[in-house]
Structure 1
């Protein structure tokens, strides 16, 4: 049990010296106490999600895999078998079997499904047998288990309301990490990268907290930045910023009119008579002849005047996101978009998202994320333990740890306050949940001060 003598207070600074440390202490305290639960839940649900691909392979083995065979049926026949399984649905895309032991996945848009969800029919490419039908989610073809864990991590299965929790965690994570680093490395300590085993009480807890946070800081900053790209409010601002800086992900056009100069068929003309469709097999052969190796996804034309779009779906390193537009009347490749030609920032965005999901480097990527998630859980628990160890023990039998002393604003010169205010407004506009919660922290701080004065 700690005593008041063990309660850390900011070291006395010369009265004429300005410093940000008292302000950082109060901000880190409030963020840790009030946002800590959201960060803890995000880390815990993320930890559950990390190894979902391996669980999918085991649980859905019957749908995903088939015995190898030297013979196969045409892709068009496989799709016909899938259509017969879901007669009221619209064909969305086809993922041909990438190997002799994998099934072909045929995706359908079905009335009544939520946005980004499909019904996927799994077909044996060797004999056309339907192996099963599952509801899948997103561009990554998440099967039911992974889709459930994804929605748990994203919004606790509470819809748009639930997404507030994950955005709040991502919005504050980088602030907590940078503030913690500044506090931990801003004072001379004998040990910064390893815990001080000789320390006692709260200082020992602080030593573990600071050293652990230092080791995982870079990954946490990365997870915060990439997590915000999926968020509900800040994500919209991120999208606008990428558009303004021309950092969007390139794509080939599905409209035949866009490829008229490449010799596209009469599909580009509104009201033109239907032309013969060369079929999925010819389209797949054309894409492979142009270098689009498996795995690929084929999106058929959904209306008159559109073309086939074939996209590689390999998301591990080295990434392969090449895409091609193919004329449905002739099978001619009209346009090819190579991943190597993407703008650098678009590549970084793709790599960042895939690394956040544990896909970029496979198992090593997953292990790093798992270690970091466990570290975050440890950091939050240690933070609350320090709060408990700061509680008063002489004047009260029980009490929560007090915030660090007030007066932090007075240690900053006027020009510094102006800069901090401008930065807070700018960041709060770009990250709305951070801005709203920061105002809430300030209101809470004022109310606590008023309550103390009333009691006094």
Structure 2
């Protein structure tokens, strides 16, 4: 959930002719008043970032279908043959099509999928050139500039979602959205629960909007709140998984994995002897692939055969050693459930398996992190995953629109008090909290603010600005006003 208040009315709502007279508002507790004001202002200020993240994420969910439309000629073959030709012949065809660069990975094609041979060049930076080979005829079907296997369209949409093509500076937008999304979602649940509990509503009314309410803010609030309740689990998931690879919170998350020894295990590629790596004509020595040299094409068949014999089924990726005297690695790359991510290290000269790392043996946090990222990208459960993500993002957009609509519906309409938007909830919640709540809450907020730096900084900025605005408004209040000064802070 996000946006405007869902708890007890902190300010009066304009009545409509279709609605019965509102009952007298009950006095909100300090905790409810604080949460209400935080939910209101955070929703208004963070909603534009959430809208941007939702729209760009929605576009990213269709990348598998988009890739097939744009790059189907490269990614698939027109006719599946009886059996593929040797990997040596396929790699040789890729080298002929792309004479420059070092081979960094080969993903053998299966079914109607082409074989992908990836070349790195220093001038490409993080990008690579991928040549697509028909595994049944060893003919090249074209090449694309890729980013860790992603096509140009997928890479462009991924960059748009992560940082709006603004680099490191743009990453702040997505991290800010993810940092506040869980706060808004959980805060909205608490506020809606408090409101429905005060009205003695049943649990069913938490999940179904009150359609008996007349047109106006009450009906809008019902749709805003109940839709948010349905989306809560999905929003919390997107927030958590988005933060794991964000700029600042993601760095803290990585440090936590290191401290808990919960990283993805590193497979050993060391060999006792320094094997001779012949060139493609059968003699001589060449540098490592990462250093700009070439590798023996026949080694790909030996390594692939060894990996299959070790039980690595399904799609795999073969990565030549980064330096001479090291084993090659073969990794399962099936990211759909049930995932296959086992790895083996293979001596390319003799085809012996020298090390192994199975996904089942990974630390739990490493498993959850990897699976969460795949689900966040819409890959883990295939088309169902894409549909769920699209439904969550569309629902979030609706919740945001309804939130802004409530803000507008609550605006004063009297001639002498007319305004463009509704009055914000009253300040003063912090000073009304009991001491024990402050003793517990302040350390918790500081800890969360340290773990999620953008959340902590923006929350601090909100508090400072709110205190300053409150102090200025009290100074401007006429001396004869028969009201006691409201405590500053929210």
- TM-score over 0.5 (shorter chain): yes
Residues 1:74 and 2:95 are matched in the alignment: no
Aligned partner (choices 104, 119, 123) of residue 129 of structure 2: 119
Which position in structure 2 is the counterpart of 1:163?
171
Three-state SS of the structure 2 residue aligned to 1:126 is coil
Aligned counterpart for 1:194 among listed residues 170, 187, 208: 208
Q: TM-score, normalised by structure 2?
A: 0.84
In structure 2, the CA distance between the partners of 1:286 and 1:181, relative to structure 1 (3 Å rule), is same
Question: In the alignment, is residue 43 of structure 1 matched against residue 43 of structure 2?
Answer: no
Unaligned runs of 5+ in 2: 1-10, 16-21, 277-283, 287-294, 478-490
- Largest Rg, 1 or 2: 2
Q: In structure 2, what is the Cα distance between the partners aligned to 1:379 and 1:203?
A: 14
Correspondence list, 1:187-266, <5 A: 187=195, 188=197, 189=199, 190=201, 191-200=205-214, 201-256=216-271, 260=272, 265-266=273-274
User: 2:95 maps to what in 1?
Assistant: 83
CA distance in 1, matches of 2:322, 2:362: 26
Q: What stretches of structure 1 of length at least 5 have no aligned partner?
A: none
The one of 361, 370, 388 aligned to 2:381: 361
What secondary structure, in the 3-state scheme, does the structure 1 residue paired with 2:104 have? strand
Do 1:206 and 1:386's aligned partners in 2 also have CA atoms closer than 8 Å?
yes
Matches within 5 A, 1:21-32: 21-32=32-43
Question: How big is the alpha-carbon RMSD for the aligned residues of Structure 1 and Structure 2?
Answer: 2.2
Q: What's the offset of the Cα at 1:10? A: 11
Q: Secondary structure at the residue paired with 2:224?
A: helix
Relative to structure 1, the CA distance from residue 349 to residue 253 in structure 2 (aligned partners, 3 Å threshold; closer, same or farther) is: same
Distance 1:19 1:313 in 2: 52
Q: 2:73 aligns with which of 62, 70, 94?
A: 62
Secondary structure at the aligned position of 2:142 is classed as strand
Aligned pair count reads 436
Distance 1:227 1:5, change over 3 A: closer
Superposition deviation, residue 4 in structure 1: 4.8
Q: How does 1:425-436 map to 2 (within 5 A)?
A: 425-436=446-457
Q: How do 1:43-442 and structure 2 match up within 5 A?
A: 43-66=54-77, 67-99=79-111, 101-115=112-126, 117-138=127-148, 141-187=149-195, 188=197, 189=199, 190=201, 191-200=205-214, 201-256=216-271, 260=272, 265-266=273-274, 279-394=299-414, 395-442=416-463
CA drift of 1:33 comes to: 0.5
1:267: Cα distance to partner? Answer: 5.0
Q: Which TM-score applies when normalising by structure 1?
A: 0.91
Find the counterpart in structure 1 of residue 7 from structure 2: none
Distance in 1 (alpha carbons) for counterparts of 2:191 and 2:341: 42
Cα 1:444–1:10 change in 2 (3 A) is: farther
